[in-house]
Amino acid sequence: MAHMTSETPAPLTLHGLSVEGVNQCVHCGLCLASCPTFAELGTEMDSPRGRIFLIKSLAEARIGLSDSTVQHLSLCLDCRACETVCPAGVPYGRLIEAAKAEIERQRPGGPLRRAFRWVNFDLLLRHPRMLRLAGAGLRFYQASGLQTLVRKSGLVRVLPGTLPAWESLLPPLPAAAARAPLAAFTPAEGARRGRVAMLTGCVQSVVFGAHNRATARVLAKNGWDVSAPTGQGCCGALNAHGGDHRRAVEMARRTIEAFEGERVEAVIVNTSGCGAHMKGYGVLLADDPAWAERARRFSAGVRDVAEFLATAPLRGPLAPVPLTVTYHDPCHVVHGQKIRSAPRALLAQIPGLRVVDLPESDWCCGSAGIYNLTQPEMAGRLLQRKVRHVLGTGAAAVVTANPGCILQIQQGLRAAGSPVAVLHIVEILDRLYGHDSA
Ligand code: SF4
Ligand code: SF4
Q: What is the pLDDT of residues 10-33, one digit of tens each?
A: 789 988 888 999 999 999 999 999
Protein residues with CB under 6 Å of any ligand 2 atom: 34-37, 48, 51, 76-82, 92
Q: Would you call 398 helix, strand, or coil by DSSP?
A: strand
d(CA 323, CA 203): 29
pLDDT at 157: 76
Relative to the CA of 364, which ligand 2 atom is closest? 2
The per-residue pLDDT for range 271-307, each reduced to its tens digit, is: 988 999 999 999 999 989 999 999 999 999 999 999 9
pLDDT at 4: 46
Q: For the chain, what percent of residues have pLDDT higher than 70?
A: 97
Confidence of residue 361 (pLDDT cuts 50, 70, 90): very high
Got the DSSP string for 70-83? HHHHHT-----HHH
Q: Would you call 305 helix, strand, or coil by DSSP?
A: helix
Instruction: Tell me the best of 32, 34, 46, 90 to mutate to test the pocket of ligand 1, counting ligand atoms within 8 Å of each CB and taking the most.
Output: 90
Confidence of residue 438 (pLDDT cuts 50, 70, 90): low
CA of 47 to the centre of ligand 1 (A): 10
Residue 2 pLDDT greater than 50, yes or no: no
Q: What is the mean pLDDT of residues 342-366?
A: 97
Q: What is the mean pLDDT of the chain?
A: 91
Q: What is the mean pLDDT of residues 353-370?
A: 94
Confidence of residue 437 (pLDDT cuts 50, 70, 90): low
More confident residue, 59 or 438: 59
Q: Is the CB of residue 77 below 6 angstroms from any atom belonging to ligand 1? A: no
More confident residue, 385 or 143: 385
Q: What is the mean pLDDT of residues 46-75?
A: 95
The per-residue pLDDT for range 108-152, each reduced to its tens digit, is: 888 877 887 787 777 777 777 887 888 888 888 888 988 888 888
d(CA 198, CA 266): 8
pLDDT at 306: 97
Confidence of residue 159 (pLDDT cuts 50, 70, 90): confident
The per-residue pLDDT for range 229-251, each reduced to its tens digit, is: 988 888 998 888 777 888 899 99
Angle at 415 between CA 409 and CA 421, to 5 degrees: 45
pLDDT at 1: 37
Q: Which domains does the chain have, with CATH numbers?
A: 13-106 (1.10.1060.10), 111-174 (no CATH), 178-309 (3.40.50), 323-431 (3.40.50.1860)
Q: Is the CB of residue 35 below 6 angstroms from any atom belonging to ligand 1? A: no
Instruction: Tell me the best of 19, 23, 31 to mutate to test the pocket of ligand 1, counting ligand atoms within 8 Å of each CB and taking the most.
Output: 31
The per-residue pLDDT for range 399-431, each reduced to its tens digit, is: 999 888 999 999 999 999 999 999 999 999 999
Write the DSSP symbol of residue 254: H
pLDDT at 150: 84
Which among 399, 427, 400 has a CA at the least distance from the CA of 330?
Answer: 400
Q: Would you call 248 helix, strand, or coil by DSSP?
A: helix
pLDDT at 356: 98
The per-residue pLDDT for range 299-349, each reduced to its tens digit, is: 999 999 999 999 999 998 999 999 999 999 999 999 999 999 999 999 999
Confidence of residue 8 (pLDDT cuts 50, 70, 90): low
Residue 158 pLDDT greater than 80, yes or no: no
**CB contact at 8 A, 100 and 242:** yes
Q: Who's near 169: CB < 8 A, 6+ residues apart? A: 372, 373, 407, 411
The per-residue pLDDT for range 186-215, each reduced to its tens digit, is: 999 999 999 999 999 887 877 888 999 999
